Amino acid sequence: MSSYHDETAYDPAGMEGHVLDWANQPSPFKFYKKIAPLPMPEPRPTTAGFWEAALAWPPPAAGPALADSADLAGLLQLAAGLTKRSGPQGLRAWASAGALHPCELYLAACDVDGAPQGLCHFDPASGGLHLLWPGRLATHIGRALAGPPARLGFFISAIHWRSLWKYRQRAYRYCLLDAGHLLANLELACAAHGLAPRTILGFPDTAAGVMAGVADRDEAIMAIVQAGPPPADPGPEQPGLPPLDLAAKPLGAVIGRDRRVLAAHAHGELFVAQPEPDWPEPEPGEHDQPLPPPTPPGEPSLWAVVHARRSRRNFVHAGLERRALATLLAAALPARGPMTARLLLAPGRDLAMGVYDYLPDRRALRPVVPGVDSRAALAQACLGQGWIGRAALTLCLWADLEKLERDFGPRAYRRAMIAAGRAGQRLYLAATALGLGCCGVGAFYDERAARAAALPPGGRLLYALACGPVKGWPGAPSAD
């Protein structure tokens, strides 16, 4: 799918101005015409530790299993809730390009005391649930995904127009990256509630859309997570169709579409479930430098870390220590995946400046361009966002998209972009837990940024994140 990525590359010579139509900004909240949200109890904060969940892949079940609707409200708050009520839209648990929050979260819960049973849509504005399809749906969902039923099933969608309104044809990139950010939170939140998450990115699109009640072109399912063991009574194989009218209120007076976004999504469509690919393992290199084991300084709760996370850009000229770098990267990246992590490092006390690849399976650095400081060049390539040049670490997530598609098929682009977003959210959270700042960067002149990060021919930058010490932030949340 390099064609969509290439078609939507920013080029300094060809940038047209785009005036935002503030009068028709799409609503960041989804409401239904005929269904009111059912209130949920005050979320009960989990005490599960952040690092315990973040340093293992996939995050293992930690803490007592989710018991009731207050726990479920806590889980939803961690995944996709409002973590700060400021302004008309509030601030959310997941970082989002332009704060446009294109993603929605749906869930089918079985046997959660006090919570509606059936498929629900989470309303972050009220913390309540829209009940869309009452009943026991675990067998039906498991069957459609070619897997076993689970106690909780989640669907992450993206409404393209929220992002298109600002980013036009580039919006699909942000919808996928944002979905990855939300996915990271959701997986960690499930683990913290004692339910091991199983993430499914190779689902059949139509079946998933019908199950979540989003069977139109404007909203698309991006990721599915099942969590917990099969319930005692998982329900029938064919529960019929939702009995309720699922029509949503329009997001605004104007709803736009873009043919490139629709084509890019359709290109990755699947009709039958596809298992997770066996991602390649990089060959060992002569000059690989092992990093020390990750050693977090304390164990703040996931709850505290998610609530303290924000995009912080006021980086100061200071480097990272090897142990902090090892801890950040171990939390951000699984052993294998569809993209490669390239680092631009400032000099630190025990770290040499330069461009490196990170090898997550061996937890080692591979020098690419040692001794060179490319951060200012990258900052210029990121539409002149100067603060990137002061960050101790810039994580550049990239892939050879043509090769990826040749080897793993058309769904690989979605997988790579979602994996990049997931790594991004985890880097944000790990940075927060270490008292560092972090900010995602989706706006870059693609070719210039690839050059600044010394990507090989065919390499495309998917997403970058700047991270490091910042001014005026009180530091890591304390251990509970």
Ligand X SMILES: Cc1cc2nc3c(=O)[nH]c(=O)nc-3n(C[C@H](O)[C@H](O)[C@H](O)COP(=O)(O)O)c2cc1C
Residues that bind ligand X (CB under 6 A): 91-92, 95-99, 174, 177-178, 181, 310-311, 385, 439-443
Smallest separation (angstroms) from ligand X to the CB of 480: 23
Minimum CB separation of residue 442 from ligand X in Å reads: 3
Report in angstroms how near the CB of residue 17 gets to ligand X at its nearest: 17
Q: Which is nearer to ligand X, 130 or 170 (CB)?
A: 170
CB atoms within 10 A of CB 402: 15
Closest CB 128 distance from ligand X, rounded Å: 22
Strand pairing class (340-345; 393-400): antiparallel
Nearest CB to ligand X, comparing residues 181 and 460: 181
Closest to ligand X by CB, 62 or 79: 79
Write down the least CB distance from residue 382 to ligand X, Å: 6
Between 178 and 288, CB nearer to ligand X: 178
Nearer to ligand X, 140 or 181 (CB): 181
Do 294 and 38 form a contact (C-beta atoms < 8 A)?
no
Q: 391 or 404: whose CB is closer to ligand X?
A: 391
Minimum CB distance to ligand X smaller for 55 or for 443: 443
Of 124 and 294, CB closest to ligand X? 124
Is there a contact between 244 and 35 (Cβ–Cβ < 8 Å)?
Answer: yes
CB of 174 to ligand X, least distance (A): 5
Compute the least distance from the CB of residue 383 to ligand X, in Å: 7
- Alpha-carbon span 296 to 52, nearest angstrom: 10
SS3 of the chain: the string is CHHHHHHCCECHHHCCCCCCCHHHCCCCCCCECCCCCECCCCCCCCCCEHHHHHCCCCCCCCCCCCCEHHHHHHHHHHHHCEEECCCCCCEECCCCHHHCCCEEEEEEECCCECCCCEEEEEECCCCEEEEEEECCCHHHHHHHCCCCCCCEEEEEEEEHHHHHHHHHHHHHHHHHHHHHHHHHHHHHHHHHCCCCEEEECCCCHHHHHHHHCCCCCCEEEEEEEEECCCCCCCCCCCCCCCCCCCCECCCCCCCCCCHHHHHHHHHCCCCCCCCCCCCCCCCCCCCCEECCCCCCCCCCEHHHHHHHCCCCCCECCCCCCHHHHHHHHHHHCCCCCCCEEEEEECCECCECCEEEEEECCCCEEEEEEECCCCHHHHHHHCCCCHHHHHCCEEEEEEEEHHHHHHHHCCCHHHHHHHHHHHHHHHHHHHHHHCCCEEEEECCCEHHHHHHHCCCCCCEEEEEEEEEECECCCCCCCCCC
Cα separation, 406 vs 423, whole angstroms = 24
154/445 with CB nearer ligand X:
445
Closest separation between CB of residue 221 and ligand X, Å? 19
Q: How far apart are CA 59 and CA 329, in angstroms?
A: 15
- Smallest separation (angstroms) from ligand X to the CB of 424: 6
Smaller CB separation from ligand X, 439 or 467: 439
**Judged by CB, which is closer to ligand X: 28, or 228?**
28
What's the closest the beta carbon of residue 312 comes to ligand X, in angstroms? 8
Q: In the bound complex, what is the minimum distance in angstroms from residue 447's beta carbon to ligand X? A: 17
